[in-house]
Structure formats: structure tokens, C-alpha cells
Structure 1
């Protein structure tokens, strides 16, 4: 899929400025930048939640799914886990229970959680339910928007490992958004750096981390000391 010359404007303010970005089949592109850089606005444009100019080539908009930052806010508290996951399924009604159980298993949750409500789950479990629900639509592209930032540090690693395993098992194409370059580096094949609505640098993850060309990328690296390249 290619995001081509995409811009988002709110009145006289340009939130996303002429962004072109390729997300290869089966690959994870990490989009990183500080809060307010335009990352989430770009994600909402790609999913059709805000108007934009430009093109999205190679993906059916109906087959793009998004997982949001706050799993509690994105799940209907009045619906059970099973009902939430089943909501977007494209399978016969008689097959829904088995499909819900399969999806919960994909995100390492027991089928017994299907009858529970979001308030009865931990934050990590709720985020896994949100991922399962998105996978139920069999997306061509999954957008993960800051999906670990609302979780406890102890839970973040497990969710990131889940993302990596899902990519390997399902060959998912994914746009993974975070302000944390360490998180992006862990899950992504390619990193795109966004600043003030524009992409300032894009490249293979390890190459970009080792030899950034943009001053803004260097500043992000400097904020995460353990990602600094070591001297030979």
C-alpha cells in the first residue's frame, strides 16, 4: 500500500503536509515523532476518519482497521468481549462463536473471557481484545496508534511481542505509531520520522538508527540513550 501526497488541513492549519509513504505487504512501518507531529492525524486520514487530499493506493479502505491508544475507551463497556470481537466478523452467524474463540486465541487470550465485560479485564487484556476485534475484519492493513502508551511498563513488552508474532503468523501489513523510538525499533522493519506534519526521514530500521540524516531524528535518538550507536 502507498500513501501518496497525503495532506490534512483544518482551516488554515496544515496537520499533515504532503506525506508519501509505502507500507509493503507483510511489513511493519514504524511512524515516530513527538506529540503533535501529525502521526495520529495521518492514521485517521488513512482510515477515513478525517478528510484529506492525496491518494491511498493498493488498499481497500474497508479493509483498513485501527487499534487505538486507550483500549477501555475503544471498547463498548456494555458489550461482552465476545460481542465486541464478533461485531465486525464476516462469517455466518453459526460460525461466529468458533471464530471469536480463534481470534482470542490468536492474541493469547482464553475463550472463557468471551463472556466478560471490559471493566473486568486488565489494560493489557483489553488491548488484546481490541487487536482481536480488528483482526476479525481480516484487514489488508492494521494501524496501531500508540497502543502501548496507556499500558503499564510490565505489560508493554508482552503486547509488543504479540505484534511481532502476529506479523509472522498472519503476514500482516502494519503501520505502527509511537512517540517512543525504542518501541518502534523493536517491532518495525522500516522507520518513518514525522515532524510538524511532514516526513523528515525514512529508512530501514537499523540503518536509520545507526546513521540518521535528519537533525530531528538525532534529537529523538538522543532522548533514548540506549539506542545510540556504540563505537566499534
Structure 2
């Protein structure tokens, strides 16, 4: 899927400025930048949640799903986990329970959680439910906006490993947004660096990390000492 010349304005303020970025089939593109860089606004625009100018081509924009930073806010507290996952499924009603259970298993959750409510789950489990719910819509592109930043460090790694396994198993295409370059490096094939609403550098992950061309990218690397020495 290709994002072409996408711009988002809020009155006189330009939050995203003429961004063009390709997410190849089966690839994870990591979008990284500091708070206020415009990366989450770009994510919401791609998902159709804020108005924009420009185009999204190479796929069906209606088949873009988004997973948010706070899974508790994106799940209906009155619905069980199974009902939430089943809500958007494109299968006959009689097959929804089995499909919801398959999706829970796909994100490494026990089927027994289907009857529970979001408040009864941990943050990591809720995030997995949100991912399962998004996968149920059979997306051409999954937009993941800071999906590990609200989780404990001990849980983040497990969710990142899940992202990698889903890409390997499903050939999932993903736009993965984070302020943490170490996280982006771990899951992404391509890194796009965003600063003040514009892309300042795009390239293969190890090329961007190993030989950054832009001063802003170098500043992000210095903020993560282990990456800076890689």
C-alpha cells in the first residue's frame, strides 16, 4: 500500500506535511519520531480517522485496521472478549464463536478468556485481544500506534515477538509507530523517521541504524546508547 502526498492540517497548523511512504506487501514499516512529530496523526489519517489530502493507493482503504496505544479504551467494557473479537467478523453468525476462538489462539491467548471482560485481563492480554479483533477484519494493512508504550517492559517483548510471528505466519503488512527506535528496529524491515510533520529519512532498517543520513536520526540514535554503538 502506498501513501502519497498525505497532508493533515488543523486550521493553520500542518501536522503532517506531504508524506509519501510505501508499505510493501508482507513488510513491517516502522515509523519513528519524538512526541509531536506527527506520526500518530499520520497513523490516524491512514486509518481514515482524521481528514487529509493526498491518496492511499495499492489497496482498499476500507481494509485498513488500527490498533491503539491504550487497549482498554478501544475495547467495550460491557462486552466479553469473545464478543468483542467476533463483532466485526465477516463470517456467518453460526461460525463466529469458533473464528473468535481461532483468533485468540492466533495471538497466543487461551480460549478460556473468551468469556471474560476487559477489566479482568492484564494490559498485555488486552492488547492481544485488540490485535485479534483487528485481524478478524482481514486487513490489508494493520496500523499499530504505540502498541507497547503503555505496557510494562517485561510484557513489551512478548507483544513485539507476537508482531514478528504474525508477519511470518500471515504475511501481514504493518505500519508500526513508536517513539522508541530500539523497538522499531526489532520488528521492522524499513524505518521511516518523522520530524515536524515530514519524513526526513527512509531506508532499510539496518542501513538507517548503521549509517543514518539525517541529523535528527542521529539524535534519536544517541538517545538509545546500545543502538548508537551498533
The TM-score normalised by the length of structure 2 is 0.99
- For 1:119, the equivalent position in structure 2 comes to 119
Matched, 1:40 2:40: yes
Between the aligned partners of 2:229 and 2:199, the Cα distance in structure 1 is: 22
Between the aligned partners of 1:59 and 1:120, the Cα distance in structure 2 is: 37
Aligned partner of residue 228 in structure 1, secondary structure: helix
C-alpha distance after superposition, 1:83-119 (max 9, x if no partner) = 1001110000010011001000000001110000000
Instruction: Work out the number of aligned pairs and report it.
Output: 230
Aligned-pair distance for 1:193? 0.1
- For 2:226, the equivalent position in structure 1 comes to 226
- For 2:137, the equivalent position in structure 1 comes to 137
Between the aligned partners of 2:146 and 2:110, the Cα distance in structure 1 is: 25
**1:132-211 aligned within 5 A:** 132-211=132-211
Between the aligned partners of 1:90 and 1:62, the Cα distance in structure 2 is: 14
Aligned-pair distance for 1:229? 3.7
Between the aligned partners of 1:226 and 1:47, the Cα distance in structure 2 is: 33
The TM-score normalised by the length of structure 1 is 0.98
Between the aligned partners of 2:67 and 2:78, the Cα distance in structure 1 is: 19
Between the aligned partners of 2:167 and 2:48, the Cα distance in structure 1 is: 24
Residues 64, 143 of structure 1: 8 Å contact kept: yes
Between the aligned partners of 1:131 and 1:47, the Cα distance in structure 2 is: 15
Cα RMSD between the aligned structures? 0.6
- For 2:83, the equivalent position in structure 1 comes to 83
Q: Structure 1: which 5+ residue stretches go unaligned?
A: none
Q: Structure 2: which 5+ residue stretches go unaligned?
A: none
- For 2:71, the equivalent position in structure 1 comes to 71
Between the aligned partners of 2:61 and 2:133, the Cα distance in structure 1 is: 17
Between the aligned partners of 2:82 and 2:97, the Cα distance in structure 1 is: 8
Between the aligned partners of 1:83 and 1:59, the Cα distance in structure 2 is: 28
